[in-house]
Amino acid sequence: MSGNPMDNEPILVADSVTRRFGGLVAVNSVDFTIPEGSIVSLIGPNGAGKTTFFNVLLGVIDPTAGSVVFRGRRMIARPERIGFESLIWVLPAVLVGLLAALLAEAGIVSGRLLALLGFITLLILIGSLLLGIIRPVWYSKGLERIGIFRSARPNDMVTAGVGRTFQNIRLFHNMTAIENVLVGMHTQLHGNLLEAFLQTPRVKAEEKAAEQRADELLTLVGLRGKGNEAARNLPYGDQRRLEIARALAAEPKLLLLDEPAAGMNPKETLDLVALISRLRNDLGLTILLIEHDMKVVMGISDRVTVLDHGEKIAEGTPDQVRKDPRVIEAYLGAPAA
């Protein structure tokens, strides 16, 4: 890696993100950028708004104000005129139906022709609803052009290239390790319903390649040969690793790790730190870390950002942050007079 990763172009820019829950301001106009190829950390005492901020970045909750730009695309902001979308689904059918009713009233059409018009109305309704479910690119683009902005959902963020792990492990416990990774690969595979039932050669080849890739990922995180074990039977440390493998399966550019070292013993923590560095150095991933374990944060971060009461109170290299009096105060309380 040449030079300081902090000088790279930003992969994600959060611009004055605010989120209120009723009267409570959980996150208060936080600016945050992540340079490509860096490892940045977000820390703060309990209730500082870390998780809320994280959830906004992922599209789990919409921000009250502000926006998030990921890889040059404005993904997340307060939704605009979202109610009009359902109008678009029913309006064409209603118009055609009204037209048919008017024509029938005027005595221009009747009998079979009228039945045909009714049938066409139904087809239009079903068609536009299907369009809303399938959401082809031109449909979303068209919506944006007429001023309807639908903030990205978590699955849209995954498609765009953001992967995540959970603070409390949330594997699919009844599925095997390899199946968990294959679910993570969902956005990378393309087999549709028809192909799945016909078992076309393309789908078969895709499934086979996917299983191979899943094996590679399991090996990368150190779970080689455990692919067929049910996720719930894996030891705790392995479950954490499996979460990382599952997140990597979506081929993310940016990986968000939510307290990956929580509940780990010192040995497991050391392995984890080595794994995170390897993800950055070997796979070129950008990593955002939320972590309580200061040894992990201070050891591998290029930059540390500190949140307290929803506001950014410090940002800088680990050394700068460690000495910052406001950070010490946030964590330990005000010094005795």
Partner 1 sequence: MTALPATSEAGGARVPMGASLKPLLRLVVPAVFLVGAYAFMGPEQFVNALTRGAIYALIALGYTMVYGIIELINFAHGDMFMMGAFVSLTFLGQILGLTGSITDIARLAPLLVAAFFVSMIVMGAIGVTIERLAYKPLRGAPRLAPLITAIGVSFILQNIVMLKYGPFQTNSPKIFPSFDIVIGSAKIPALSVFIIVVALSMMVALQLFISRTRLGRAMRSTAADRDAAQLMGVNINRTIAITFLIGAALAGAAGVVNGLQYGVSRFDDGFQAGLKAFTAAVLGGIGNTVGAALGGFIIGFIEVGATVMGFSRWGPAIVFGVLVIVLVFRPSGLLGQQLGERA
Residues contributing to the site for partner 1 (CB under 8 A): 58, 60, 89, 125-126, 129-130, 132-134, 153-155, 158-159, 164, 166, 170-175, 179, 182-187, 189, 191-193, 196-197, 203, 207, 210, 246-247, 250
Structure tokens at 111: 């009998």
Contact 166/247 with Cβ under 8 angstroms? no
Reported as half-sphere exposure (CB side, CA atoms, 13 A), residue 206 has a value of: 16
If the CB atoms of residues 1 and 196 are measured against partner 1, the closer one turns out to be 196
- d(Cα 209, Cα 117) in Å, to the nearest integer? 48
**Farthest CA pair distance, the chain:** 92
**Which of 164, 240 has the CB closer to partner 1?**
164
Which residue has tokens 């009204």? Answer: 98
Report the candidate in 196, 221, 205, 215 with the shortest Cα–Cα distance to residue 278.
221
Question: What b/e string do you get for 187-214 counting C-beta neighbours within 10 Å, with b at 16 or more?
Answer: bbeeeeeeeeeeeeeebeebeeebbebb
Min dist CB 247 to partner 1, Å, is 8
Q: Cβ of residue 203: shortest distance to partner 1, in angstroms? A: 7
Query: Coil, helix or strand for 196?
Result: helix
Q: Select 127 or 235, whichever has its Cβ closest to partner 1.
A: 127
Write down the least CB distance from residue 129 to partner 1, Å: 5
The least distance separating partner 1 from the CB of residue 190, rounded to whole angstroms, comes to 8
Q: For the chain, first and last CA: distance in Å?
A: 47
**Cβ closest to partner 1, residue 165 vs residue 305:** 165
Q: Which is nearer to partner 1, 50 or 164 (CB)?
A: 164
* Nearest one of 334, 331, 272 to 297, comparing CA atoms: 272
Question: Smallest gap, in angstroms, from Cβ of residue 185 to partner 1?
Answer: 8
**Side chain identity at 201, as an amino acid letter?**
P
| Token pair recorded at residue 78 | 């307060």
Q: With respect to partner 1, which residue has the nearer C-beta, 138 or 197?
A: 197
Nearer to partner 1, 81 or 173 (CB): 173
Q: How far is the CB of 6 from partner 1 (least distance, A)?
A: 28
Q: How far is CA 218 from CA 201, 244, 251, 284, in A?
A: 26, 9, 14, 18
d(CA 318, CA 312): 15
Q: Compare residues 66 and 252 and give the one whose CB is closer to partner 1.
A: 252
The rounded distance, in Å, linking the Cα atoms of 326 and 13 is 25
DSSP 8-state secondary structure symbol assigned to residue 293: -
